[in-house]
Amino acid sequence: MTTIYSANNLIGQKDLDSHTKKQPNTEITSSRKSSMVQDKMRTIRNNNTIETYTVGSYLATRLSQIGLKHHFVVAGDYTLVLLDQLLTNKDMKQICCSNELNCGFSAEGYARAHGAAAAIVTFSVGALSAFDAIGGAYAENLPVILVSGAPNSNDRATEHLLHHTLGTHDFTYQLEMAKKITCAAVTISSAVDAPDKIDYAIRTALRESKPAYIEIACNIASAPCAAPGPISSVINEEPSDTETLQAAVAAAAEFLRTKKKPMLLIGSKLRSADAEQEAIELADALGCSVAVMAAAKSFFPEDHPQFIGIYWGEISAPGAQAIVDWSDGVICIGALFNDYSTVGWTSEQKGAGVLIADPHRVYMEGYDFSRIHLRDFLSGLAHKVEKKEATMVEFARIKTMSPTEIIANPNENLMRVELVRQIRPLITANTTVIAETGDSWFNGMKLNLPGGARFEIEMQWGHIGWSVPASFGYALGAPDRRIIALIGDGAFQLTAQAVGQMIREKLPVIIFLINNHGYTIEVEIHDGPYNNVKNWDYAGLVKVFNAEDGQGLGMRVNNGGELAEAIRVALANHDGPTLIECVIDRDDCTAELISWGHLVAKANGRPPLPQ
């Protein structure tokens, strides 16, 4: 099976055309559908063999055809037959999770690494838990397909009360909830309609880069259905509107012509738009400075000569805020402005000197264009602009050299600065750093990434605990990469069971767990006794997850010397995860977190508007 998704992107059109030509012509027309309802089996002839399809195996085939090698599950009686059907597809491995929240976040992490993902849970008690993670996938623009088993289709027309429900006769509440957090939500109670609904949900998720929801009645999963048609009907997207694209490029070129010191600001929606290479193309053509927003760290190469660092208001990298403020034309590419990314609304970009280029829309003062792809716009604009290097010249004048790093006494108590210093050499072009919500965000920003390195953060949804299962899913989706996770102790307690699954799958994830006895990010926004957490023996917990056959490692470090030794051991462990519990002082946090927390608290505390 040709892989449709690579690390983050769909295959190129040439490869797609080649793949499509290999598919047998098995498309089922509407006129044939009614007569085929009478058949007991639906078949597809391929290489002189007959392959039967059920609703469950159809779903498995489509998931495999979009490139998935794994799907994440939590078993439940409404899904058991569906899980059996998914197991018949040998191109995908079924990955069991400890609970539905972890299942959803594991799929979310997998989508970051692999381009798309699937999670399968049971009705109500399973899906409502998974909805938290699916909401995160929606906020973070990730195509996760959530599949829920559902009650027997015959029970919908009866007065039966069923388990795993609200104790009412209305079973539609879950579908209605799903519509709010997905771009497509369908329920399948007829095998005849299953192929069309499955294709619609997956197609929409890939097109919108948002999650989709598929609900399948438990007695329908093994029912025979039509065979899949060509996958091109699912993965092909509509092209940009040609006239609108030309008009948008012309307007943007004129906008830039009138500016003497423009710059580019890269945001987190750049990845979902599949436009990272085109952003580089435009940067090269303009020759201007390029800053990235915190949630887009690594989406523009940090070793590019025009990269000037992270722009995050008053906690930006040295010189970055000054350049943004000095520029007379900011091109915001895939930017997402919220209270966190703007540091309490103190650094939002808007006004006459700002051009916003979103995945399917470009707008600036006096202009608004839609139905165009960001990558087409950036590439087209790159061919229409001239060099505008003023911001690079100014940055060279004002940038400050990084202070010389001081290596701590190896016997002194471990400090955050020393922890970051020792992590830096671990990051290569083949590394992905996953930073949990909290001070790990700000520690992660201090890591310089070589070309090819990736950085993952969940700044829009901001769910503490996300990173543990997301690291698990990411490691499965990118098995050839080194995964380093930076996680706080409070966040770890929410989803710690995912470490057990890392052990089960023998994934060599390296977890730096910061044990400072609480929710440090909340302390800096608004402190109180509710920010304290019960301390755990985090390193010792790995032994619990290992049980009789696991190869995970857990180590506690209190100083720089112990940390260096723990890192050496972690790099040699290829049979499971390594958790390094780093004990630091409660008040040892970044200055950036302190400033950020103060301004976010100020935004949260604004009084109500007059009535």
* Sign (positive or negative) of CA dihedral 564, 567, 573, 578: positive
In 3D, which of 328, 380, 335 has the Cα closest to residue 351? Answer: 328
Q: pLDDT (tens digit, 9 = 90+) per residue, 130-152?
A: 999 999 999 999 999 999 999 98
pLDDT at 159: 72
End-to-end alpha carbon distance in the chain: 62
pLDDT at 228: 96
- Other C-beta atoms closer than 10 Å to the C-beta of 232 total 14
Q: pLDDT (tens digit, 9 = 90+) per residue, 541-592?
A: 999 999 999 999 999 999 999 999 999 999 999 999 999 999 998 777 777 7
Q: pLDDT (tens digit, 9 = 90+) per residue, 220-245?
A: 999 999 999 999 999 999 999 999 99
Mean pLDDT of 107-130: 97
Mean pLDDT of 363-380: 97
Domains defined for the chain, CATH in brackets: 29-235 (3.40.50.970), 242-398 (3.40.50.1220), 416-600 (3.40.50.970)
* Strand arrangement, sheet containing 144-150: 93-96, 70-73, 117-121, 144-150, 212-217, 184-188
Distances (CA, A) of 349 to 329, 346, 415, 461, 577: 10, 9, 35, 21, 41
